Amino acid sequence: MSAPYPRPAPIGAHDARFWSFAAQGELRIQRCADCGVHRHPPRPLCAACGSTAVEWVAASGRGEIWARTVIHPPTLPAFTERTPYCAVVVRLDEGVFMVSTIVDRNPDDVVVAAPVELVLTEVERDLVLPLARVVDA
């Protein structure tokens, strides 16, 4: 049996809200209420206009692989039995980036620019993560 997943450590109100939405099955990202620019990871200021006005909006979950790497042992104990696996940076259609793991492909078959969908998945009791699935054209 694998060791438990390491838990994301919310470092402030913005991160806590992201994880709270995820636990409810909602993939949400911040959008500036003044200029409309999406942002992730959550943060208090808009990088485009400096506004602190924020709203949480549903993200499509669709995007493409922007970068990838295959993880091999040695690794953290929680991931030893899961290796090798493909970690990816996904550029969502909304323009923000999220780090995820491909769950439906051999890691060596995953390519940059492949279309993906992030699916909120309960990987352990009380731990929901956005995992990536390749979308076949």
Q: Per-domain residue ranges for the chain?
A: 9-58, 61-137
d(CA 4, CA 126): 12
Q: Model confidence over 102-133: pLDDT tens digits?
A: 999 999 999 999 999 999 999 988 899 999 99
Stronger pLDDT, 36 or 82, i.e. the higher one:
36
Place of tokens 């992030």: 118
> How many H helices and E strands in the chain?
1, 8
What values do phi and psi take at 18, rounded to 5?
Answer: -55, -50
Percent of the chain with pLDDT over 70: 98
Which pLDDT does position 76 carry in this prediction? Answer: 87
The DSSP secondary structure of 37-48, one letter per residue, reads -EESS--SS-TT
Q: Model confidence over 90-101: pLDDT tens digits?
A: 999 999 999 999
Place of tokens 């694998």: 2
Which pLDDT does position 2 carry in this prediction? Answer: 66
At 78, is the secondary structure helix, strand, or coil?
helix
Q: Which CATH class is domain 61-137?
A: mainly beta
Mean pLDDT of the chain: 93
Which pLDDT does position 79 carry in this prediction? Answer: 87
| 13: amino acid identity, one letter | A
Q: Positive or negative, the Cα torsion across 33, 36, 37, 42?
A: positive
Q: Is the model's pTM score more than 0.85?
A: yes
Which pLDDT does position 1 carry in this prediction? Answer: 54
Which pLDDT does position 78 carry in this prediction? Answer: 86
Q: Hey, what are 112's tokens?
A: 């940059």
With a cut of 70, say whether residue 18 has pLDDT above it: yes
pLDDT band at 6 (very low <50, low <70, confident <90, very high): confident
